[in-house]
Amino acid sequence: MRACHGVLPQERVVGGDFEVSLSVEYDISRAMATDDVADTLSYADLSDLVRREMAVPSNLLEHVAGRIARAIVQRWPEVQSVNLSITKLNPPMGADCDGAGVELYLINDKTQ
């Protein structure tokens, strides 16, 4: 996905390509029994939330990851944990690499 994160002014104007990987832990037993989409988390809603947060420019990917994880547990308090990685593809850092990024694992204390 395209977004405008980075500390360099050009990154905030031109933007760059990012890869986001997300998994959430929550109790799926009700959905397993009912086969009803109302009893699970909507992948589309999670994707929309990630897209909205990625559209807000930040200097640091750590900040973006924190915003996304906090927004998920605020919107869905039943989520037990969030595992999220954000990678900036082809970062402007003068190194020969495919990407640089962060990974965050957040445990929702309110479900424990």
Residues forming the active site: 88
Kindly state the tokens that stand for 29: 């037993």
